[in-house]
Amino acid sequence: MIRRQRLASGALALLATLAAGLAFPGAAAAGEPTGAPKVDLVLDVSGSMRTRDIDGGTRMAAAKQAFNEVLDATPEEVELGIRTLGADYPGDDRKTGCKDTAQLYPVGPLDRTEAKSAVATLSPTGWTPIGPALLKAADDLDAGDGSKRIVLISDGEDTCAPLDPCEVAREIAARGIGLTIDTLGLVPNTKLRKQLSCIAEATGGTYTSVEHTDELTDKVNQLVDRAADPVVTPVATEGAAQCAKAPTLKSGLYTDREEFSQQRWYRVDVDPGQELRASVSVGADRAVNPDYGLLLRAVTTHGREIVRGEAAGNGRTDVISTGLRYPKAESDDDDAPAESVCLQVTNAFSATSGVKTTPGMPLELTVDVVDGPSQASDVAAFGLGRGWWLLGVLVLVGFLAGLLWGWVSRWRVAVWRTN
């Protein structure tokens, strides 16, 4: 039951975030890059990619099939490139092996036939220089002001220490070029997951473990499509300790920091006939105790709760999210004022021993105010909307069936007694 509640909360937060991304194009346009979105697919072609454990074939075969399907589906506006690591040097010299990264297909307008031909030549060969490959990939994407994304696909940890790939990712993030690194692991290995997760988190990207070809295809397609989506630049804000002093927010994406077990308040004006959609995420950017929670409440200025969203975690993820929706009923008065809704964000994180509690943990709040459902009043009046008549029919059928069964039972008893 707890797991279902978490999934429901996460789905609500995701829906609210997606809805927000679609519904405030004005905010997106203000911070939207003008250049073409760019993606560099960085593929591990080291010797271990010969292993046959993905749908009966090798990891390399799965990667090639996924790449071919992704190249077919890449949006026209995306400039895409392919970089390899461990594809060319088969020897044992570590120094040489750790330089083995090359641009297989340059980042730019996509020629699908040429890119597929390049992918077909790949053969699992050497080392796993993830750090050097990421540095080169960042250089591949450095020019231009469009969105930039690296998608790293690997089946093993970096073999070129002391150049730590996680530190490399932090260095790339510090350049301030707006580059995101997403990572996909082809092996459900704890050490690999830890390293790839760290790389992704350093740049605000995602880590995914994939074990089937179709999963790999779907995820890479999703990430390439995401690069083409409009980018909304978060706006820094500072929540208050109480609703009366809270900043008034419009539709948009906001960032703040919240200390352990702290409350932050924000206000949103909602006109009659509009719907408020909000979601919040808090990231545990330091060591925290397991079993934590997040609460998002919509409250009137008089303190009455309207609706809430909540989520719980157990230490298996570094981010926790939840969301809510509040439709404001239409009014017969055309001059009816907007309702000031207070949003309260409360976390139940606690720091482990010796961990600093300041500054607060990063908080991301999405706010969206849109026109409400046209038949919201009808649904509210009946509770079940158009399904009301169906409930009535079911009740009536159940009642008649009960009467009939009771009559048949009494008749059978009477017949039995007669005999």
Domain ranges for the chain: 33-228, 235-372
- Find residue 112's DSSP bridge partners: none
The pLDDT, as a whole number, for residue 419 is 60
What is the number of residues in the chain?
A: 419
Residue range 235-372, CATH number: 2.60.120.380
As a whole number of angstroms, the distance between CA 172 and CA 243 comes to 39
Range from 56-70, 188-202, 327-341, 371-385 carrying the lowest mean pLDDT: 371-385
The pLDDT, as a whole number, for residue 5 is 40
| Token output for 379 | 């649904």
The pLDDT, as a whole number, for residue 396 is 72
Answer yes or no: is pLDDT of 116 > 80.
yes
Task: Over range 349-378, report the average pLDDT.
Answer: 76
Distance of CA 49 to the CA centre of its chain: 28
- Pair 276, 368: CB distance under 8 Å: yes
The pLDDT, as a whole number, for residue 25 is 40
Dihedral sign for Cα atoms in the order 338, 242, 248, 12: negative
pLDDT category, 232, cuts 50, 70, 90? low
How far is CA 81 from each of CA 184, 227, 231, 365, 405, rounded to the nearest angstrom?
A: 17, 13, 21, 33, 72
- Find residue 279's DSSP bridge partners: 323, 366
The pLDDT, as a whole number, for residue 142 is 82
Top pLDDT among 402 and 312 is at: 312
Range from 157-171, 184-198, 232-246, 306-320 carrying the lowest mean pLDDT: 306-320
pTM for this model (two decimals): 0.54
Task: Indicate left, alpha or beta for 204 from its phi (over 0: left) and psi (-120 to 50: alpha).
Answer: left
Dihedral sign for Cα atoms in the order 73, 77, 78, 80: positive
| 152 contacts: CB under 8 Å, gap ≥ 6 | 42, 44, 130, 133, 134, 181, 182, 183, 184, 196, 199
The pLDDT, as a whole number, for residue 230 is 63
- Pair 321, 279: CB distance under 8 Å: yes
pLDDT category, 317, cuts 50, 70, 90? low
Return the CATH number of 33-228, one of 3.40.50.410, 3.40.630.40, 1.10.10.10, 3.40.605.10: 3.40.50.410
